[in-house]
Amino acid sequence: MSLPTSPRARMHGGINPPGNKQQSLRHPIRRLPLPPQLIVPVQQRGEPLPELLIGIGDRVEKGQCLARGRGERAVSSHAPAAGVVTDIGAQPLPDDQAGGVTCVTIATEPCVASARCLPPLDPVECGNEMFLQRLRDAGITGLGGAGFPTHAKVRAAIGRVETLIVNATECEPFITADAALLQERAADVLRGASLLLQITGATRCLVGIQDDAPAAIASLQAAMTDARFQLCVLPARYPHGAEALLVHVLTGREVPMGRPAIDYGVLCHNPATLHAVARAVLHGEPLISRVMTLTGAALRDPGNYDVLIGTPVAVALQACGLDEWQHSRSLAGGPLLGVELQQATVPLIKTSNCILATTEAELPRPPPSQPCIRCGLCADVCPVRLLPQQLHWFWRSGELDKAASHHLEDCIDCGACAYVCPSTIPLVQQFRLAKTSLAEQCARQRQADRARERFEAHQARVATQQRLDEQRRRERAALLQRKQAEAAARTETVNAVTASSAPSPQDVIAAALARVQARKAAKRTAEPTALPPEGEAPP
């Protein structure tokens, strides 16, 4: 039993929407009946296709590994129940508007055999590598919202953090999954936290929780025996759960936008993730189910359920007694950050912490927006101290540069501004759109810079090529000239030699004729003694 510590800083602004948490906290965590079909995502967003270990038509056991991730950050996926694989292919997910990710569809069979487990690890004996490999093999990703692979986050934190923060501030209305988990399984959560303390070398663990979950606080206090653990109870206020804000409130350190809290000596985890870590390491259980809140006025039996990953939303809602007549829409997540589900066939995934099936009376659609009256309420509630109305005007006039200079990119999409706006302007939706456009502009600028570089390289290459060609041509011309000159010089010398020493053909002929004449003359002088000439014959 330890006394709660007080927070180090106060969050700026924030809102106090009606909690609506009691509906789902009336019962303990229950199990849903086995759905006839499970759609299990086996690929994480932005990761390559995993190595599939099963094929269509294969029988799988509960807990059997379906696919092993190939990427650096990818994790394994497991069969949440026994059955036969009927399909492998891209399926839409609740957090996904376009396209889908690879999923394995299993037609389930009721089976009494317990889940196939990995051997339990001894956290003292096993090294860091084995521990991280276990997190990966058990398919553990962050269960809070972003779904970041836990092994990658812990690896980055080893030796660099001194504080572990358990983010149990479920600040959004309706959601009670973490509160229910802490009420019933606080010891497992804290066991997971102490495992991470041991691996990362952090010296203390701060558990941040809001005062609207008294049962969870009592259960945590009862389970806290270690002096390294401190409970910090915050007044209920939205959005305490945003990581950077919680780090600031609990430790007094401000984490700049876009930087991981690990760089500032803090590792932040959700209690459900820590629970899964403890189950995976100490009991060898892969992550095949999670506690989630199924609530809303359209459900006859709202509550927290231990749901198998891959259960279709429609099946889960039917099991809780969905009133089709009253039901207006379903949100994945809470009323402020949730995404409206377009189709009920999507499966519940590891990051789904709440499905809100509401009626028009409970969560009416916002009325049409009216012009901004510059009341300034939005600036009062903005937890990151932006000026939403100013950003709104910049967005209206298309001046994204000015919006960027007013730090639009620091907006955490919490929606507090849109909640308080008396003109019901969809501010947060506008900011999301503006941020998308800004990101596109930045990408364009990068592309322009790259094009400039490539163009300059191209110009330089063309210039070099031209220079080289020119040089070669000049060299060739020079060579040709030299050769011609040489040839000319050679013929001239030959002529000169002939002119000076060698006899001309006429001379040679003349000389030969002279020689013949001389020989004839010599013969004639020798003849008269032996033989008289024909003309002087004796009578």
Partner 1 sequence: MLSPLLLICLALLAGALLACAARPAEPQTLGLVEQIDALLPQTQCGQCGHPGCKPYAAAIAEGAAINKCPPGGRQTIARLARLLNRAVVPLDPEHGAEGPRRVAFIREAECIGCTKCLQACPVDAIVGAAKLMHTVISAECTGCDLCVEPCPVDCIDLLPAPSAWQPVAVNDSPARGTPLIGSDRGRGLTT
By CB under 8 A, residue 446 contacts partner 1: no
By CB under 8 A, residue 451 contacts partner 1: yes
**3 vs 98 by CB, closer to partner 1:** 98
Instruction: Count residues near partner 1 (CB under 8 A).
Output: 30
Nearest Cα to 262, choosing from 333, 341, 207, 202? 202
Consecutive H or E run containing 102: strand 101-108
Sign of CA dihedral 146, 149, 153, 156: negative
Place of tokens 């220079």: 467
Backbone phi and psi for residue 66, each to the nearest 5 degrees, phi listed first: -90, -40
Residue from the set 448, 468, 488, 510 that interacts with partner 1 by CB under 8 A: 448
Residue from the set 3, 98, 521, 522 that interacts with partner 1 by CB under 8 A: 98
By CB under 8 A, residue 444 contacts partner 1: yes
Residue from the set 12, 70, 452, 519 that interacts with partner 1 by CB under 8 A: 452
DSSP string for 469-530:
HHHHHHHHHHHHHHHHHHHHHHHHHHHHHHHHTSPPHHHHHHHHHHHHHHHHHHHHHHSTTT
By CB under 8 A, residue 437 contacts partner 1: yes
**444 vs 476 by CB, closer to partner 1:** 444
Residue from the set 401, 413, 469, 475 that interacts with partner 1 by CB under 8 A: 401
Residue from the set 454, 472, 473, 524 that interacts with partner 1 by CB under 8 A: 454
Shortest distance, position 363 Cβ to partner 1, whole Å = 16
By CB under 8 A, residue 485 contacts partner 1: no
Maximum separation of any 2 CA atoms in the chain, in Å = 179
By CB under 8 A, residue 373 contacts partner 1: no
**Binding to partner 1, residues 262-291 (CB under 8 A):** none
**Binding to partner 1, residues 310-369 (CB under 8 A):** 368-369
For Cα atoms 223, 226, 227, give the angle at the middle one, nearest 5 degrees. Answer: 130
By CB under 8 A, residue 397 contacts partner 1: no
By CB under 8 A, residue 481 contacts partner 1: no
The DSSP 8-state label assigned to residue 257 in this structure reads: T
Residue from the set 10, 59, 458, 490 that interacts with partner 1 by CB under 8 A: 458
**371 vs 533 by CB, closer to partner 1:** 371
Cα 268 to Cα 502: distance, rounded to the nearest angstrom = 107
Nearest Cα to 166, choosing from 144, 140, 147, 138? 144
Cα 207 to Cα 229: distance, rounded to the nearest angstrom = 7
Q: Indicate the residue type of 269.
A: H
By CB under 8 A, residue 433 contacts partner 1: yes
Residue ranges in contact with partner 1 by CB under 8 A? 97-98, 368-370, 401, 425-426, 429-430, 432-433, 436-437, 439-441, 443-444, 447-452, 454-455, 457-458, 461
